[in-house]
Structure 1
């Protein structure tokens, strides 16, 4: 649909904000609209760029946690309240696009995935202006955001196998460019939405759980929708490499969720790594070193997976 002549163009087609200097030569573009939604606030991201080398850089899309109900692009979790993990990754040469998406109080599934895909498409469509390489885009998320990052890696350009009529790509923001990512990092994320209640020993029919609020109903009452919203349902041999990191003492999203996901990926022949941190609860609570170790491993993994191809590749 074209924009009426008396209205401005959509926010995601507007000029980029001024670049701000950040730590150690990194730069940030704050509050960049990546999708305009009629009648709603524009969806925004903050883009953290490495020190300028004059060459296009890889980028990872970061999706925050909060049970699809809370959170924002400004935080990677409470363990990093006194540090800036996005600048840490940018200093290593990988840009970070930290993305806001609609929460479950604003819209139910699959709106959250539609928004995440829109962010990837926008980055590709504006890559030349942003100085990023459209062929080297990864996804990274924590908790609910890790769930969405996994789905970004597993559902590019496809309908859901469990519910073929439901389009997972969506029509939010820029359409046309691919929403595919070439690697996924998922921190303490749900991989099987319907199994979370059994894994935590909670009431599977409780309409107030995070999963029920995401889907609009308890997962057990909408099994096809729950399967559609579960990364483990979409694993195929075509999946990109995955790094799954989880605390062994996680009480909110038990570590068995990542163990099952890792097993499914490996069974499909996908390159997948699983890292467990002994004694760490959700959001790395209870383990002083887990947050640092997870961030360092994530940074190293992204650098390796998104390295520029050599002439022999």
Structure 2
């Protein structure tokens, strides 16, 4: 059994209220996973874990393991550019610290879990806060400048990355660096669990390889799980349960 609450957690000046969907198990003081959806920073919803994956296969699976899940809204790139999204995630975590206990959540035990663009946000927030126990990064872009060289079907001046940081990476190198988890690695970073499909055509597997290498070089606890033949949002992966199990094993370890 789980409890569900939809709560407004922030009101940025001049913008819409931002909400979280908070799912909690029927136990008090549950550790909390702050979830950040994908969608290239320009689309997506806190209601969806990944496209094609049901709540029973995702959110409810995590709650059944004994964790609360706060699925967060953040401003999309059509509303606000980087770093506004990091401020939105900070606001959600700060709300949990202030009000989480009222909903049966232990705000002292927080792990960030993001997919795709949400994984980039989870990594950046985890790298800049000291109250995060760990980060689960599913196929997130780690190097925005390198992503600018990886064109798919998009016009170069209008990539998702360019929309997010306000221009091409070559023209906004400082913003591109600040928006790249690879450039923010430091020795006091929390542990990371990174999982990525080797056949991802939207975010190359190399993005996670170089990020994991940088974390290891800084003596950060990091797990890299290659998913052979897996595409973006786990396309071509017939059973995602083992991926959840691996991530939850990591969460169990860092939440102790």
TM-score w.r.t. the length of structure 1 is: 0.78
Q: Distance in 1 between matches of 2:234 and 2:159?
A: 22
| 8 Å contact kept, 1:205–1:218 | no
Q: Distance in 2 between matches of 1:233 and 1:112?
A: 18
Deviation per residue, 1:111-168 (Å, 9 max, x gap): 1111011111110111221222222011000000000000111012xxxxxxxxxxxx
1:69 to 16, 35, 42: 42
Provide the residue aligned with 1:207 in structure 2. Answer: 157
| 8 Å contact kept, 2:148–2:168 | no
CA 1:89–1:218 in 2, change beyond 3 Å: closer, same or farther?
Answer: same
2:126 to 153, 165, 185: 153
Q: How far 1:204 moved relative to its partner?
A: 10
Deviation per residue, 1:219-244 (Å, 9 max, x gap): 11100110001011111110000000
Residue 232 of structure 1: SS of its match in structure 2? helix
Q: Distance in 2 between matches of 1:193 and 1:120?
A: 25
Q: How far 1:302 moved relative to its partner?
A: 1.3
Provide the residue aligned with 2:139 in structure 1. Answer: 188
2:230 aligned with 1:280 = yes
| 8 Å contact kept, 1:79–1:284 | no
| 8 Å contact kept, 1:205–1:220 | no
Q: Distance in 2 between matches of 1:27 and 1:205?
A: 44
Deviation per residue, 1:54-112 (Å, 9 max, x gap): x4111010000000011010001124137341111011111100001000000000011
Q: Distance in 1 between matches of 2:131 and 2:83?
A: 17
1:133 to 96, 106, 126: 106
Q: Distance in 1 between matches of 2:121 and 2:8?
A: 19
Provide the residue aligned with 1:58 in structure 2. Answer: 31
Unaligned stretches of 5+ in structure 2? none
Provide the residue aligned with 1:229 in structure 2. Answer: 179
Q: How far 1:212 moved relative to its partner?
A: 0.1
| 8 Å contact kept, 2:49–2:55 | no
Q: How far 1:305 moved relative to its partner?
A: 1.5
- Aligned residue pairs total 256
2:2 to 22, 26, 31: 26
Q: Distance in 1 between matches of 2:155 and 2:44?
A: 25
| 8 Å contact kept, 1:92–1:303 | no
TM-score w.r.t. the length of structure 2 is: 0.95
Please provide the CA RMSD for this pair.
1.7
CA 1:184–1:72 in 2, change beyond 3 Å: closer, same or farther?
Answer: same
| 8 Å contact kept, 2:152–2:202 | no
Provide the residue aligned with 2:206 in structure 1. Answer: 256
Q: How far 1:186 moved relative to its partner?
A: 0.4
Q: Distance in 1 between matches of 2:238 and 2:140?
A: 20
| 8 Å contact kept, 2:114–2:136 | yes
Computing the radius of gyration over CA atoms, which structure comes out larger, 1 or 2?
Answer: 1
